[in-house]
Homo-oligomer: A and B are copies of this chain.
Amino acid sequence: MKQEFNNRIKNVQEAIIKQQADACIISSSVNLFYLCGYIVDGYLFIQPEGNPILFVKRPDGIEKENVIYIRKPEQIPDFLRQKNIRLPKKLFIENDVLSYSTVLRLQAAIGMPVLMNISGEMRRIRTIKSEYELAQTRECAQIHASIYTKIPQIYRPGMTDIEFQIEMEHEMRLAGSMGIFRAFGENMEIFMGSILAGDNAQAASPYDFALGGAGLTPLLPIGANGTPLASGTTFMVDMAGNFRPWMSDISRTFAIGKVPEIAHRAHQVSIDIHNAIISSAKAGTSCSEMYFLAEKMVSEANLDEYFMGTKQQAKFIGHGVGLEVNEPPVLTPRSKEVLEVGMVIAIEPKFVLPNIGPVGIENTYIVTENGLEKITVCEESLITLT
């Protein structure tokens, strides 16, 4: 594990050198965990070379080399001066994550350096997973898939979407779900995942997830809203896989009793898109190309108006997954990103059919030397529950 952390720090140091910054301060939970292995209330100070210094306000009692206790960020320069470390004139910080107030205070505390934004670069660095991280992701996906195989037993006729979701949550927690899962971006809120049933899948949401749903409360307008799992409709299970810090993403769809033929047909198109991408994508494939391949297949099947929503249609069919559920790359028409070995991506071509519900599947894939490795292995067909 020591080598693991050394490599991650080295990647940040390369960014510091490349962009000609003097130092970088990391203080967000996700990136502290990534670079230190744990979360503190504090600041990780990284210079172009050498070991980083971790300035900690809380918790008490970390006994490690390079851990310095402070009460407030204004004490950082005192320490640096003592050690004959020059105050940075150009400083990388996490502009996309830290609040404006926090950034201004930190900037003043460090002697008003020019600020540079490390947020995007940290997300890019995290995109390429190490063997250790990939092993964590595979373990997560395996537990995640095993829960999905229990869905026919968890379902009981007469349930609502939220009643079903609560039982899924319970199973997932018993299987080691860490509960909280993290998404990048302001206002990207969700609780453990989403169950979308029937026409609730058409409800537009303020959030930038693939599908919406009205939610149970205006305080969290996403996902299940109390819709009965009714005969002749479908429901989609898209619960987060957070059984390890490195996450997985799976969606599967279930039909209650007999559903119209179009549901089966559109569901198969989703599976076909996955298979077409698996056959063609490899390191070097552009993310927009995968999007256009999906779009073309949807058009040929004459299902455009149902693709990724109805009233509000998402303009992506997949995204990276890692410590956050929405990492780069994003599979959009305008993406300039290409697949690289070590990336983990979730692909989720979905349809929302009025008066029926959502259909389609989502899998998580690792980009390997040999193409895409599917790590979320469980039944993909539209399973009929009775």
- Docked Cα-Cα span, A326 to B96, in Å, equals 24
| Docked-complex contact A191 and B166, CB < 8 angstroms | no
The minimal Cβ–Cβ distance linking A34 to chain B, given in whole angstroms, is 10
- Docked Cα-Cα span, A218 to B178, in Å, equals 10
Interface of A is mostly: loop
The contact of A219 among B33, B205, B220, by CB within 8 Å, is B33
List, in ascending order, chain B residues with CB within 8 A of A59's CB. Answer: 203-206, 212, 221, 312
Question: Does A60 interact with chain B (Cβ within 8 Å)?
Answer: yes
| Docked-complex contact B173 and A39, CB < 8 angstroms | no
The minimal Cβ–Cβ distance linking A354 to chain B, given in whole angstroms, is 15
- Docked Cα-Cα span, A39 to B212, in Å, equals 13
* B-contact 0/1 string along A172-201, CB 8 Å cutoff: 011000111000001101111000000000
How many copies of this protein are present in the complex?
A: 2
Question: Does A82 interact with chain B (Cβ within 8 Å)?
Answer: no
Question: Does A296 interact with chain B (Cβ within 8 Å)?
Answer: no
| Docked-complex contact B41 and A187, CB < 8 angstroms | yes
* B-contact 0/1 string along A94-118, CB 8 Å cutoff: 0111111111100000000001010
- Docked Cα-Cα span, A286 to B96, in Å, equals 38
Tell me the count of chain A residues lying within 8 A, CB to CB, of chain B: 59
Question: Does A217 interact with chain B (Cβ within 8 Å)?
Answer: yes
Report A204-258 residues with CB < 8 Å from chain B CB. Answer: 204-208, 212, 216-221, 245
* B-contact 0/1 string along A125-155, CB 8 Å cutoff: 0000000000000000000000000000000
List, in ascending order, chain B residues with CB within 8 A of A174's CB. Answer: 166
Question: Does A368 interact with chain B (Cβ within 8 Å)?
Answer: no
**Max count, chain B CB within 10 A of own CB: residue among A39, A100, A312:** A100
- Docked Cα-Cα span, A262 to B245, in Å, equals 40
The contact of A218 among B38, B93, B173, by CB within 8 Å, is B38
Given contacts A59-B204, A103-B100, A173-B166, are A39 and B218 in contact (CB under 8 A)?
A: yes
Question: Does A58 interact with chain B (Cβ within 8 Å)?
Answer: yes
17 cross-chain CB contacts under 8 A: A27-B187, A29-B187, A33-B219, A37-B218, A39-B187, A58-B204, A58-B312, A59-B212, A93-B100, A95-B99, A95-B101, A99-B186, A100-B100, A101-B117, A170-B170, A178-B191, A180-B219
